[in-house]
Homo-oligomer: A and B are copies of this chain.
Amino acid sequence: MARTRFDHWPCSVARAVDLLGDAWMVLILRDAFYGVRRFEDFQSNLGIGRNVLTQRLSSLVEAGMLQRVPYQDRPVRHEYRLTDKGRGLFDIVLALVRYGDDWLAPDGPPVVLRDRETGARVDPIVVDRHTGQPIDPRAITVEPGPGFPEEHLARAKADGRFA
């Protein structure tokens, strides 16, 4: 069964979720952020089937999040490196870490992040760029932005999507 696509929705959340695809894609990206580059290492870290891994890596390359780069000549072998578009997803992974550590880790964080140079603990949070403060959903209103398609505006307003 073909999955429902959300990439054309007038919503950045829907588009980003569509790009991420499924849990395996997110976990492959997590490994890439933690330094994994080679097929065998992804496979052993994730305990994922070779065909599933092959398919997900292709999707990540096709969507421009990973780049397939030769690292050896005879025989030719490739590794997978994050592109800028892939590296930008780190913030989403960090938000997942934050939530999982806060709500789903009764024994404490399974994994701790440190700055490679200073050794200081790194502790991700989501804030408003202007105030530096966390964002409470109850304090927010939503309005159409420049990228909201004109032809959907009347319908969205009728549906009560914008206050």
Contact B12 A26 (CB under 8 A): no
- Is A30's beta carbon under 8 Å from chain B? yes
Interface status of A73 (Cβ within 8 A of chain B):
no
Q: How many copies are assembled?
A: 2
A94 in contact with B126 given A88-B99, A109-B147, A147-B108 (CB within 8 Å): yes
Chain A contact residues: helix, strand, loop or mixed: mixed
Which chain A residues numbered 110 to 124 have a C-beta less than 8 Å away from chain B?
A: 110-117, 120-124
Closest 3 CB pairs of A and B: A12-B100, A108-B146, A95-B95
Q: A16-B99, A117-B139 are in contact. List 4 more A-B contacts (CB 8 A).
A: A88-B99, A109-B146, A115-B139, A126-B126
